[in-house]
Amino acid sequence: MKHWRIEQMDWDAFDASKVDPSIVSLIKSASVVERNARDYTEYLVHVFAGDQGFIDAAQNWAEEEVQHGDALGKWAMLADPSWNYEEAFKRYRDTYRIDVDVDASIRGSRTGEMIARCMVETGTSSFYTSLADATDEPVLKAVCKQIAADEYRHFKLFYDCMHRYLKREKLGRWARLRIALSRVLESEDDELATAYHITNEPADMPYDHKRCISAYMSRALGFYQRKHLGRVVAMVLKTAGMTPHSRLQRFISDAAYHLIKWRQKTFARHLKTAS
């Protein structure tokens, strides 16, 4: 069951004068990644074969993710009427595919898989919250708030499921933290960089990972405020089984905030030299 529908949003309230072009490029990239969620369900169906309760939940999850893509795609076409979401998604599918034909999680266990999914939802819920806080465009603000709420519910879905598997697989806190952090680092891999390339660059321009991830990250990381990082760190610690609200969490949040700002500047520098 979806918690909201695209048709419920007040699309007539769209205000072109309040559109920030750097957000448009991020929204275009995010739209095709979100729409691609059905591939991940296929992967999860293989990994969680026999767990019908989770498979049903994962199928509902994918429909919500696809709706995120469709809502963001619709908004991006209002912001840039020359852009075509369906056509961009088709090109993205032709370029980027995940390997769904597996019989076990690439994270080593079902618990590990759930930890990785928790990290993806941590990333998306903080990303859309930061965009909702940054934009003055009323439709995008409302859409990002709805999506961020969905992403947090998804985090809880995977977190609860992780606990079911933890009882059997017994992964220690450091092992959980290691899987969580390795998934966080994967955000700099090809998925987002390719999405940026397909949705923002000319079709005849060759793909260059460093240029594209720099273009995406230099913009995306710029919207994160200290409070968003505080929430990210609390969710990472919670997933690893550590106390989410503590002096340690505040210390790590401060460090993470400075790290993110430093990374943002590094990506911006890479982008300048690449273009």
Residue ranges binding Fe ion (CB under 5 A): 34, 65, 68, 121, 151, 154
Q: How far is the CB of 72 from Fe ion (least distance, A)?
A: 9
Cβ contact 14:143 at 8 Å? no
Non-local CB neighbours of 256 within 8 Å, separated by 6+ positions: 229, 232, 233
Q: Alpha-carbon distance 147 to 127, whole Å?
A: 10
117/197 with CB nearer Fe ion = 117
> C-beta of 155: minimal distance to Fe ion in Å?
8
Q: Which is nearer to Fe ion, 149 or 177 (CB)?
A: 149
Return the closest-CA partner of residue 156 out of 248, 238, 233: 238
Minimum CB distance to Fe ion smaller for 34 or for 191: 34
Closest distance to Fe ion from the beta carbon of 215 (Å) = 21
- DSSP designation for 207: P
124 versus 214: smaller Cβ distance to Fe ion = 124
Supply the minimum distance, in Å, between the C-beta of residue 240 and Fe ion.
20
Is the separation of the CB atoms in 190 and 209 below 8 Å? yes
Best CA proximity match to 128, nearest among 258, 235, 23: 23
DSSP state of 140: H
CB of 54 to Fe ion, least distance (A): 15
Q: How many residues does this entry show for the chain? A: 275
Q: Of 154 and 219, which CB lies nearer to Fe ion in the complex structure?
A: 154
Q: How many helices (H) and strands (E) does the chain have?
A: 11, 0
